[in-house]
A and B are shown apart, each in its own frame.
Chain A
């Protein structure tokens, strides 16, 4: 039997362990979102209170719903980050145009589901690549195989070997941009080691 005092102590250590899971950068990000939601940057009398309240709310959320930390955390390379954003935006514009053309072309559109093997083993770059590929028109993530780091990408209008290869290369380019912008040194080394050509020779992808 555990008496009341013991139970209280166990509860306290549990709380302390959970407080340890609060990640400061994440809490700051959530506070930022909170401030944007409530127009907190429009300086008035309540602004400071809003800031404090937002921070408290984000800490409470992280205590109630703890998540594993993102390891290793992202490293920011400013120049590559800008290149990444420009790349994604231009791809979006170009691909939107292509999808528009496909939409109005007569006849049936045929597509493919293509397996693309990632060259780096990192949760962060994999998720980022998947989201970016989904946002860019013409590609959609159908399935993810995390242990073997394969993205299954649905490519609109890819009906020949040539277009399929082109789509696969596009996803690889996207991954490369993300690794250069956010990845660690190990990620970048892994990227250099296993280029697309080598993987194809091995029968990967």
Chain B
């Protein structure tokens, strides 16, 4: 590969990794700033996933010119895939437990259609 192309790829990789790191920083700030459990779950899961994807893309761009075999990026693909599939489950379980144990801060919710629903069927919730 020509020198120039490698330089361009290097810069693209640099920008991707930097943007990913910034998003992860935002996630950290959000974790401190947001008031309640559910909003915190957002920051724990979200900017992080795009951040991680960007970092992975950056690493991939850096790897491709160095290694001739493109399939070595496979591990990166797997990391991204498993993160995307598992993070929603963690968020869902946390939210669910929060509701079932009454740890939801009603102050910070403008509208809560799930709580209305759960209150409508208290007998069902006892089980």
Contacts and interface: CB of A to CB of B under 8 A. Distances in A.
24 contacts: A36-B77, A39-B74, A41-B71, A92-B50, A96-B46, A99-B26, A99-B30, A99-B42, A103-B29, A103-B30, A108-B108, A135-B45, A137-B50, A142-B92, A142-B95, A142-B96, A143-B96, A143-B99, A145-B117, A152-B117, A154-B38, A154-B42, A158-B110, A159-B110
Q: Give the bracket for the number of chain A residues in contact with chain B.
A: 35 or more
B50 A93 contact: yes
B93 to A, nearest CB: 10
A159 B33 CA distance: 18
Nearest to A37: B78
Interface of B: 23, 26, 29-30, 33-35, 38-39, 41-43, 45-47, 49-50, 69, 71-72, 74-75, 77-78, 84-85, 87-88, 91-92, 95-96, 99, 108-115, 117
Contact of B33 (A39, A95, A103, A152): A103
Contacts of B113: 112-115, 152
Contact of A142 (B33, B46, B110, B114): B114
Interface string A133-161: 01111101111110000001010101110
B78 A36 contact: yes
Contacts, number: 138
Task: Give the interface SS of chain B, mostly helix, strand, loop or mixed.
Answer: helix
A100 interface: yes
A141 B114 CA distance: 11
A42 interface: yes
B39 A142 contact: no
A135 B84 contact: yes
| Pairs A-B, 8 closest by C-beta atoms | A134-B88, A137-B46, A36-B74, A41-B71, A142-B95, A159-B110, A115-B113, A112-B111
